[in-house]
Amino acid sequence: MRRRNTSNFSYYPEEQERRGTILRTLLFFGVLAALCVLLAFAVRRFERGHISKADASALQKGLAYLSAQDAQDPAAVEETIKAQLQAKLAAEREQRLQEMLNGEVNVWTMFQDYAFMGDSRTVGLYVWNFLPHERVFAEAGATILWPRDHLEEVKAHNPSMLILCFGLNDVSLGFWPTAEEYATGYLNLLTWIKQEMPDVKIYVNSIFPAKDPAFEKSASWYKIPDYNVALKAMCEENGYAFIDNTQLAEEHMALYEQDGIHFYKQMYDLWAANMMMTILQDE
């Protein structure tokens, strides 16, 4: 099996985090005990006249501090260590986010250990050479039924992050005539994927709306906003990360191709930044 890359944006199971916290706590108390022994030894040396009174006073204060730390509740120490780690990670995420927004880094290089699944809009990720084809599993006309025949290809790469981009065809084909039925169908897909890939972190993209003249092809696309509301609620209720592209689409309709469905190249950079903002904030 391919070794998982956990250098950036990797998903850590709760069990792994719990074990890491316990290990850090044990290490903390081990170091604490060793320091107490060393300080006690230093104090004895002072009593025998081998170190100065000033140094001995500092050592006594250090020993008193360590003794107080040693008396703390292990659970409280564990929570303190965990809070410090989370604060450090949050600062690192904020730094990466600012670097991305300032154009200091190429947003596409920030995708690590990932896979995409989606429809023709997703195909553009490799057609425009933003991402390698082997990491983008997509096909024109695909719906949320499509992954069931292609997940084995994704599993072969063992990604820690799976980003889904479906909905346009799902709404127009009428297999899910209401937003609620579609949200239920999507949840069934997500549940199945988690059964097949328990460690993967799933991100669900909202459905990009269509624009004229696309509605001449399918008036059902007028209902995309309703479907997005249902999708977002489903994700929030079931613990799946939702990437909301609504505002992005509204502000950049000029970057749609003439068919009112697909995107010009510039739109993909904005979409990538929007996805990465959610990924960073969700870590």
Count CB-CB contacts under 10 A for residue 275.
22
pLDDT exceeds cutoff 50 at 13: no
Q: Is residue 121 domain-resident? A: yes
State whether 93 and 127 are in the same domain: no
Last residue of a domain, one of 101, 134, 162: 101
Q: Is residue 143 domain-resident? A: yes
State whether 61 and 186 are in the same domain: no
State whether 135 and 207 are in the same domain: yes
pLDDT exceeds cutoff 70 at 109: yes
Burial of 270 (0-12, 13-18, 19+ CB in 10 A): middle
State whether 54 and 167 are in the same domain: no
pLDDT exceeds cutoff 80 at 17: no
State whether 206 and 126 are in the same domain: yes
User: How many domains would you assign to the chain?
Assistant: 2
State whether 85 and 143 are in the same domain: no
Provide the pLDDT for residue 92. 62
| Residues 156-177 as b or e (16 or more Cβ within 10 Å = b) | eebbbbbbbbbbbbbbbeeebe
Tell me what the pLDDT averaged over the chain comes to: 83
State whether 188 and 91 are in the same domain: no
Provide the pLDDT for residue 171. 98
Q: Is residue 224 domain-resident? A: yes
pLDDT exceeds cutoff 80 at 38: no
pLDDT exceeds cutoff 70 at 56: no
Pairwise CA distance, residues 89 & 99, whole Å: 15
Q: Is residue 8 domain-resident? A: no
User: Cα 105 to the chain's mean position, in Å?
Assistant: 18
Burial of 138 (0-12, 13-18, 19+ CB in 10 A): buried
74-78, 136-140, 157-161, 220-224 — which is least confidently predicted? 74-78
State whether 243 and 167 are in the same domain: yes
Provide the pLDDT for residue 84. 73
User: What CATH number is attached to the domain comprising 177?
Assistant: 3.40.50.1110
The token duo for 51 is 């170190």
Pairwise CA distance, residues 224 & 1, whole Å: 40
46-60, 74-88, 217-231, 248-262 — which is least confidently predicted? 46-60
State whether 232 and 159 are in the same domain: yes
pLDDT band at 105 (very low <50, low <70, confident <90, very high): confident
pLDDT exceeds cutoff 50 at 115: yes
Under 8 Å between Cβ of 283 and 237: no
Amino acid at 50: H
The token duo for 28 is 């903390």
Q: Is residue 5 domain-resident? A: no
**SS3 call for 165:** strand
Last residue of a domain, one of 101, 118, 141: 101
State whether 200 and 278 are in the same domain: yes
pLDDT band at 152 (very low <50, low <70, confident <90, very high): very high
Q: Is residue 7 domain-resident? A: no
The label of the residue with tokens 């990437």 reads 243
Average pLDDT over residues 261-274: 96
The percent of residues in the chain predicted with pLDDT above 90, rounded, is 61
State whether 111 and 36 are in the same domain: no
Q: Is residue 4 domain-resident? A: no
Q: Could you say which DSSP state residue 175 is in?
A: S
Q: Is residue 9 domain-resident? A: no
State whether 134 and 226 are in the same domain: yes
Last residue of a domain, one of 80, 101, 122: 101
Under 8 Å between Cβ of 162 and 201: yes
Note down the domain range covering 158.
Answer: 107-282
Under 8 Å between Cβ of 110 and 276: yes
Residue with the bigger pLDDT between 54 and 24: it is 54
Task: Give the DSSP letter string of 242-268.
Answer: EE--HHHHHHTGGGB-TTSSSB-HHHH
Which residue, among 200, 17, 239, 24, has the nearest Cα to 114 in the 3D structure? 200
